[in-house]
Amino acid sequence: MQAARMIGPDVAPPAMCYYEPLKGSGGKCRACLVKVTAGSEKDPRPMPKLVPACITAVQDGMIVENTVNEQVLETRKGIVEFLLLNHPLDCPVCDQAGECHLQDFSFEHGVSSTRTVEERNTFEPVDLGENIKLNMNRCILCYRCVYTADQITDGRVHGVMHRGDHAEISTYIEKAIDNDFSGNVIDVCPVGALTDKTYRFKSRVWFSKPMDAHCSCDKCSGNVTLWYRGDEVIRVTGRKNEWGELKEFICNTCRFDRKKTSDWVIEGPTNVSRHSVISANKYGAGLIKPAFPIAQAARDYKLIEDDRDRSFLTNQASLPAKK
Ligand code: SF4
Ligand code: FES
């Protein structure tokens, strides 16, 4: 995975559970499966099965097929379907919409129909402490939040309970996550399962403007992204790199309690390097070149199959012709 990332985003496999700053992450979601057609210079035999790029060590002479191999592309469709087995299609009301990795993954690699007929697992939303809400319905069991709590907080009190279809993120006997760095589980969650209660339902992310800012904090680096709606700071998050991974973990005081512009030294507009709806239409013509979104739209255009029954519509002539 890291070798592919060094080449560039067009080559890097998708990742739903791997998170470079977290030791031991990866190997859970299978989003990054690739075909190794030659193992190494010394042993050029192909690997018999697809392997997860995030936990496979690179070797001299290794040949990896990721973007063109039919088996890989077909498998990814299945992985999307699998991750969506229990995931609700509540993007219109989910705070993560617009910055959700599962949304991107299913758009880029999924199919537009589902074969699921089974009932989805459903859970009631749970408060994990004062500022974090868990919507277990949306969780894809990537374990990132568990590793985060393990590696950057003093005592992890949540984890994955049960196994298989019964698995769920839980704090043992509803014990709250309560320590200075617990809010980082929100930033590492690739979907909208862990959300910031101070931000929930305040705005769609594409209506907010991200700005880099810092403060002198005695608990963390104080380097954050402020999310503005108009003049109001509606959310504070850690800064992320082009892979959507945190550059630094921030403390809860910066995240939840410093919501005034006067609390911060503003550095300027955040450069959102991951292709994203967030970077569109934000700072005027100077920063976003019109050619960029047009080229991206042309490259990523995808015909959505729409087989819905339209017979209930009386004026069929007003609909665009189905291609
Ligand atoms: S809550 Fe989010 S980060 Fe934690 S396991 Fe589920 S999807 Fe992953
Ligand atoms: S990103 Fe490799 S298995 Fe999840």
pTM of structure: 0.84
CB 52 near ligand 2, within 6 Å = yes
Average pLDDT, the chain: 87
Average pLDDT over residues 106-121: 87
pLDDT over threshold 70, residue 51 = yes
Token output for 191: 């979907």
Residue 160: predicted pLDDT: 81
Contact 13, 26 (CB under 8 A): no
Nearest to 186 by CA among 130, 261, 242, 121: 130
CA-nearest of 155, 123, 162, 151 to 139 is 123
The C-alpha atoms of residue 262 and residue 299 are separated, in whole angstroms, by 42
Q: Among 45-54, 93-102, 282-291, which stretch is predicted with the lowest mean pLDDT?
A: 282-291
Per-residue pLDDT at 167: 81
**% of the chain surpassing 90 pLDDT:** 59
User: Has residue 207 got a pLDDT over 50?
Assistant: yes
Cβ–ligand 1 distance for 22 under 6 Å, the answer no
Q: What's 2-83's CATH class?
A: alpha beta
pLDDT at 106: 92
Ligand nearest to the CA of 143: 1
Q: Which residues contact 95 (CB under 8 A, 6 or more apart)?
A: 192, 195, 196, 199, 200, 201, 205
The answer to whether 171 and 158 have CB atoms below 8 angstroms apart is yes
Q: Are 87 and 65 in contact (CB under 8 A)?
A: no
Q: How many other CB atoms are there within 10 angstroms of residue 191's CB atom?
A: 22
Atom of ligand 1 nearest to the CA of 188: 3
Q: Is the CB of 141 under 6 A from ligand 1?
A: yes
Classify strands 33-38 and 158-161 as parallel, antiparallel or unpaired. unpaired
pLDDT computed for residue 323 by the predictor: 46
Q: Give the pLDDT score at 286.
A: 52
For the chain, the domains span 2-83, 94-106+117-199, 202-302
Q: Can you name the CATH fold of 94-106+117-199?
A: Alpha-Beta Plaits (3.30.70)
Residue-level pLDDT at 304: 67
- The reply to whether 2-83 and 94-106+117-199 are identical in fold is no
Closest atom of ligand 1 to CA, residue 189: 3
Q: How far is the CA of 30 from the centre of ligand 2 (A)?
A: 5
Question: With DSSP H G I counted as helix, E B as strand and the rest as coil, what are the percentages for the chain, rounded to 5?
Answer: 25, 15, 55
The CB of 149 under 6 Å from ligand 1? The reply is no
CA of 285 relative to ligand 1 center, distance in Å: 37
Is any ligand 2 atom within 6 A of the Cβ of residue 101?
no
Ligand 2 within 6 A of 20 CB?
A: no
- Inform me whether the pLDDT recorded for 285 exceeds 50: no
188 lines ligand 1 (CB under 6 A): yes
**What pLDDT does residue 142 have?**
94
Q: What are phi and psi of 236, to 5 degrees?
A: -125, 130
54 vs 158, higher pLDDT: 54
